[in-house]
Structure 1
């Protein structure tokens, strides 16, 4: 996963890389800003791509080049200082770790929890100066490059129209975890949603208007409920029925309803609506079922594996066996454009604050809440350049 680079004097060279779309094709991965998206100059795109409709090709960047192009506006942040609350959340998590313990291995080099603490502290202190002097990132941090083939996907916080009480127009229950959830294997999705296996057990948290919305809520892991009076509640992951996850998108490709290139969250939604007689069959292929709990606090961004709030376009889910929670990364990729065929550049500082069932060289970026977040996360499956940063 790690590339070995020689250290050159005066330059930072390392001495020592499933989202909404991917989880529709592969096993389950990690569970929008109102600011105007960053628009890159034409020179930021691949030479020769004059037609916006053509697919973009990512070009890997060396550390000095990537450091020079990092821009918080690609993360919908006005400045680096806006990332301070997220770094502070990482430091709260890292405070529970023993500084001398090994958090991960970069080749034959160990990375300790204490190094991650110092890295977060260093970045936090530098934030006010980074907008004017990005070279500080090269001067003050080692850049450990992750191997080629880094995959970047996205996930988001979905919205489900729901009612806190049963109503004819809100027929689909969202269930809380049974009290003895871990003691046995519970019924499958088909048995729960289509045969009423949990009916009468007083496990309903709310009732949803659309079963398709509930299905995608299960894929994302957490989300928001909007009640008929307009109020909202966060609904959080509380466990599963213990059955394995199956990627419905893979079945739709195998059955000839879509090609791999066409597959996206939006494509699956469309196929569900166009073929209502197939919905039970297709949904039931994924026997895994998710249970929830209602958050008692004010509506906010969801909580990740750290037990801390996630920040849109800054927090990412990682394979914690290779990239420990609390890590700081520089990521560069071309994201699907929003309401545009033109790709959207992403070049930013990302914090490892969530996890999922993912391959080692895979980052699942939390895109936030809202239409843009859902649209882009549902189509993200991008090649990326990635570096792990460590304080010198």
Structure 2
């Protein structure tokens, strides 16, 4: 019953988002006319943009950042806007964004969430932490592709080649690979930051989809939390067999330079900002570009009318208006990211030609 009552509201929301995006296509839109722009904290929105500018300044001006057609962009296209942003006096952020940028509609699409896991780990294995978190084999890029699949790696196919950086619970290790980076809390309170360092070259297979297909979890109830609950209730051998059905395997590297208040670096090369960093498809959206996001939080229904930054990518992020919002780290971030599945309207902000 609850699901049937929700559906009309979802259809209304999707229609509203579609109308907004369609109207933006019909007539040029100013930043000030973006839905909800008047309530935006322009100073907070500009901080991650400035961080992205520092990464762009290290690139060849002719290097492509992605995009297609009108949204195609090179690193040098942002030089003037970045230089002005770096010298802005406090209080002028809103005027700068309204004057310097023009919104280009991306349409409506699916918005999901991701996070940086916080998990218990050990430097030597024990009964509660038996699963190794592996570094890449030497000369990973030079090895024949693909490498052994997940089941073979767990059976020892890379023993002696892929170093063990730490050990964790098998389910926690699996979800760490899905997110691509994480914080491992060691015995005694030490913290180990692990970042993505490559993968084995096999395609990613979503175990959530498998559970839906087998009738284990209804489609409308699917979430990361639902998957975890199923794994916890299943016999250990059955749970392990399901995890091995995803042949993709991720390797990690240690990162000791990040501060605890910094997120992991995204594809752009800057630490991700909770609630402000977005994973996009660079075939449509240039990395480093601001994106106006109109959606809502699945967990509590809070509206999302916010300027975010295209600073990351993801294997499942395909399409102009398909995106993944970085929610931060720890339990609260996991709760928001695990259930997020929303229709969203998006506009990419491109530098405006100024006299």
> Is the 2:35–2:294 Cα contact (8 Å) retained in structure 1?
no
Distance in 2, matches of 1:279 and 1:212, equals 9
Q: Could you list the per-position Cα deviations for residues 332-365 of structure 1 after superposition, in whole angstroms to 9, with x for gaps in the alignment?
A: 101112xxxx411111111111112321221211
Distance in 2, matches of 1:202 and 1:387, equals 42
Which residue does 2:276 correspond to in 1? Answer: 314
Distance in 1, matches of 2:277 and 2:194, equals 19
Q: TM-score, normalised by structure 2?
A: 0.82
How far has the Cα of 1:154 moved from its partner?
1.2
Which residue does 2:52 correspond to in 1? Answer: 90
1:286-305 matched pairs, under 5 angstroms: 286-297=246-257, 298-299=259-260, 300-305=262-267
Q: Which runs of 5+ in 1 are unaligned?
A: 1-50, 73-78
How far has the Cα of 1:268 moved from its partner?
0.5
Distance in 2, matches of 1:332 and 1:122, equals 27
Which residue does 2:335 correspond to in 1? Answer: 375
Distance in 1, matches of 2:91 and 2:36, equals 14
How far has the Cα of 1:80 moved from its partner?
3.3
Which residue does 2:153 correspond to in 1? Answer: 192
Which residue does 1:347 correspond to in 2? Answer: 305
RMSD over equivalenced CA pairs, Å: 2.8
Q: Could you list the per-position Cα deviations for residues 75-100 of structure 1 after superposition, in whole angstroms to 9, with x for gaps in the alignment?
A: xxxx4333454222211222134446
Distance in 2, matches of 1:108 and 1:330, equals 17
Which residue does 1:161 correspond to in 2? Answer: 120
Q: Could you list the per-position Cα deviations for residues 285-304 of structure 1 after superposition, in whole angstroms to 9, with x for gaps in the alignment?
A: 10111111111224431011
Distance in 1, matches of 2:343 and 2:351, equals 26
Q: Could you list the per-position Cα deviations for residues 176-224 of structure 1 after superposition, in whole angstroms to 9, with x for gaps in the alignment?
A: 111132312332212233x23344557111111x211101001000011
Please point out which of 173, 179, 184 is paired with 1:220.
179
Q: Which runs of 5+ in 2 are unaligned?
A: none
> Is the 1:70–1:348 Cα contact (8 Å) retained in structure 2?
no
Distance in 1, matches of 2:61 and 2:234, equals 55
2:103 partner SS: strand
Distance in 2, matches of 1:127 and 1:373, equals 33
Which residue does 1:363 correspond to in 2? Answer: 323
Matched, 1:386 2:354: no
How far has the Cα of 1:311 moved from its partner?
0.8
Q: TM-score, normalised by structure 1?
A: 0.75
> Is the 1:120–1:328 Cα contact (8 Å) retained in structure 2?
no
> Is the 1:316–1:354 Cα contact (8 Å) retained in structure 2?
yes
> Is the 2:136–2:162 Cα contact (8 Å) retained in structure 1?
no
Matched, 1:117 2:85: no
Q: Could you list the per-position Cα deviations for residues 270-293 of structure 1 after superposition, in whole angstroms to 9, with x for gaps in the alignment?
A: 111111242122111101111111
1:372 partner SS: helix
* Greater helix content: 2
Of structures 1 and 2, the one scoring higher in RCO (CA 8 A, sep 6+) is: 1
Distance in 2, matches of 1:312 and 1:364, equals 12
Matched, 1:279 2:279: no
